[in-house]
Structure 1
């Protein structure tokens, strides 16, 4: 059953100023959680906080700056958080960038792989001590149906040997899924009670569908309103993964409708052969090497 009482729980949501992250922040704050809304753009983040407080003036929500495309920002966020909080009950790795023109992060990673996967990998690792010390804690990482048919091209992670935006988006979302599963495997191997769960929103009408740095064009929004489910529905798998008490860790949650594009949350089976142990182990090692963040699980 879903846990409706989150009083005393501390939650981090990346990319919480819009879309799925914003909807999750709103609901979890309604349930009594203290929600840290991590956002790159502080102005947009404050607008999101104000919108939540208008509906619920008792909401415990606050804004902290985080740019997942900059490992210095990731470290600064982790240091600021750990200096103020002694627990982390729920971490939702939600933020993402989708099909931008070719670009790189501050550290020279391809933008989608660097932001969607490596930034979250580093952040989760840096906050691991707090997660381990918080009873009943969990990590929820958002993947996508775009993981289907995707591959991790270890010989071209930075896109220097060719770049196709959708291919690299699929790679980043596959990395999210493999990270979530491997993290849970390692938690269980080392007797750590924290659990890791992956989820995806189906195809939701959010600002993830941006053309470069601009907002989604009006004509695209009209098309999306017809074919995609609203963010209020797209957030349900995230909320299920975050609060369903029967989950044991390692699950993948998505909409139950046709093609898993729309619907109510349900435990889903990823595409066949996705959980390749060799790929998962190599991705983990490469991620530690690229970010310099080592997971101390002992």
Structure 2
């Protein structure tokens, strides 16, 4: 598909799935805004994307997704620079081995994996609406299917197991996707969630725990490459086959069912309200 004249944002695009997603969109002719925390690694990734794709319309913007102020500042800078946004891909994620708080006082796994895409999308809604038909793609994980949601302990204060907390955050991403899609009905903004599969990225290694490193090492022969993991994100971002499709979950480039609990409409609304309260929106 030709994405010439389209503007796309990909968060966490300095490596792994995000980088491959940005590259694929660049090869389709899009203007791609890569959003990373580290300027040096971001510059390296952008240079490689430009070299491989032959597309010079690759922009690097810096944002610390664990900081709500940084997210708001990035959104403002983006809208000052660009007058349209056709595709927003909330790709960035992190597994944190030990419970720690962000500068805002949020538990970090929750902040990076769930609060960040929630807030970033919220801050960019005006330009997404102005660019309609536009698309928002949130990345979740198959781990969300085994996760639980405790609205009374979103910050994991009672107990912290990195795998469980990560899974819960990714469940929240799915539920937020469905609730946002419902709220944005008839605006021309399609909001969908992607399960990329078990992909060989830096995500598992960032947890730092010996158990996680051993597990990811043993599973390596069964992992998808980052390029394979990016295929569904790219499909949902660009395919004309799903024009207007919203509030759906995709895996391996087809619609799939998410966790049963994720379809609980009342719980979706309760999570939305709790998140709005946390972020003071």
Do these two structures clear the TM 0.5 threshold for a shared fold by scoring above it? Answer: yes
Q: TM-score scaled by structure 2?
A: 0.94
User: Closer, same or farther in 2 for the Cα pair 1:34/1:155, shift >3 Å?
Assistant: same
Instruction: Measure how far apart 1:176 and its partner are.
Output: 0.7
Contact residue 196 and residue 249 of structure 1 kept, 8 A: yes
Q: Could you tell me how far 1:160 is from its partner in structure 2?
A: 1.7
The counterpart of 2:180, out of the listed 162, 179, 183, is 183
2:49 aligned with 1:52, yes or no?
yes
Aligned to 1:239: 234
Distance in structure 2 (CA, Å) of the matches to 1:279 and 1:131: 26
1:14 aligns with 2:2: no
Indicate the residue corresponding to 1:230 in structure 2.
225
Match of 1:134 in 2: 131
Q: Is 1:76 the equivalent of 2:73?
A: yes
Determine the structure 2 residue equivalent to 1:168.
165
Post-superposition Cα deviations, 1:112-171, rounded to whole Å, max 9, x if no partner, equal 111111011111001000000102101000011011121221121112211111111111
Query: 1:232 offset after TM fit, Å?
Result: 0.9
Cα offset for 1:243? 1.3
Give the match's secondary structure for 1:177: helix
Structure with greater helix percent: 2
Helix, strand or coil for the counterpart of 2:133? coil
Cα RMSD between the aligned structures? Answer: 1.9
Distance 2:239 2:25 in 1: 13
- Tell me which residue corresponds to 2:111: 114
Aligned to 1:153, which of 143, 150, 153?
150
Of the three residues 259, 262, 267, the one matched with 1:274 is 262
The answer to whether the Cα contact below 8 Å between 1:205 and 1:224 also exists between their aligned partners in 2 is no
Give CA-to-partner distance per residue, 1:259-285, whole Å, 9 cap, x none: xxxxxx221111223211111001111
1:146–1:173 CA contact under 8 A, matched in 2:
yes
Equivalenced residue count is: 278
Deviation of 1:90 after TM superposition, in Å, equals: 0.2
Unaligned stretches of 5+ residues in structure 2? none
CA contact (8 A) 2:132 2:187 kept: no
Gapped regions of structure 1 (runs ≥ 5) = 256-264, 294-298
* Pair 1:289-2:280 in alignment: no
Q: CA 1:288 to 1:53, structure 2 compared with 1: closer, same or farther past 3 Å?
A: same
SS in 1 for 2:262: coil
- 1:30-66 deviation digits (Å, cap 9, x = unpaired): 1010000000111111111111122233331111011
